[in-house]
Amino acid sequence: MSHQHFIIHKPYGYLSQFVCELKKKKLLGDLHNFPEGTMAIGRLDESSEGLLLLTTDGKMSELVRSKKVEKEYYAQVDGIITDEAIAQLQQGVEIGIRDVKYQTTPCTAFKLETAPEFAPRTRKIRDDRHGPTSWVSITLTEGKNRQVRKMTAAVGFPTLRLLRVRVGAIYLHDLPPAT
């Protein structure tokens, strides 16, 4: 049996799933007519955007979700992120996972000197009058629930916009958001 694999740019406001009990949620099946048995490899929450891999192969999904494969995210954060905050992210920070404290593993993190050029988000983030923002790249091999958002908040720079830009050797590049 041959399996199929797909790469999409998940837009803001969609769930990384095909079925949901909540009637008014936008789902991956609303974007394209994927074959039966297609599943998202990992998840991006409803507010997150970017590279999402889909497959009909459960073993491929398990491999990509493992700690063997890096996932890189670009986060637009509130304020101008400091070198100290970057160092804390690199060393790992304590976050809460379902009311349990969790220490993230060391990761690669650095400030992006120029803002990446992505298509505008369908919902505006905020006005410039609310203060400056900056962008940071964070590369993880683990994937806890809302981990990047919790990590940036833990170092004092809450995430305003989050995009996954790479999974292993697969990059988002200029793939437009699926609509």
* Model pTM score: 0.93
| 130-144 confidence digits (pLDDT tens) | 889 999 999 999 988
Q: Give the CA angle between residues 98, 16, 6 to the nearest 5°.
A: 140
Average the pLDDT over 12-30 and give the result: 85
Residue 94 in this model has a pLDDT that exceeds 90 = yes
Name the percent of the chain lying above pLDDT 70.
Answer: 98
Does residue 174 have an active-site annotation?
no
> What interhelical angle do 147-154 and 83-91 show, nearest 10?
130
| 47-86 confidence digits (pLDDT tens) | 999 999 999 998 888 878 778 899 999 999 999 999 999 9
What tokens appear for 167 in the block?
A: 């999974």
| 25-58 confidence digits (pLDDT tens) | 888 888 888 998 898 988 899 999 999 999 999 8
Residue 175 in this model has a pLDDT that exceeds 80 = yes
Question: Considering only CA atoms, which of 124, 129, 133 is closest in space to residue 158?
Answer: 133
> Domains in the chain, please, with CATH?
5-65 (3.30.70.580), 71-171 (3.30.70.1560)
Active-site option among 30, 45, 57, 99: 45
Residue 179 in this model has a pLDDT that exceeds 80 = no
Question: For residue 1, what pLDDT is reported?
Answer: 66
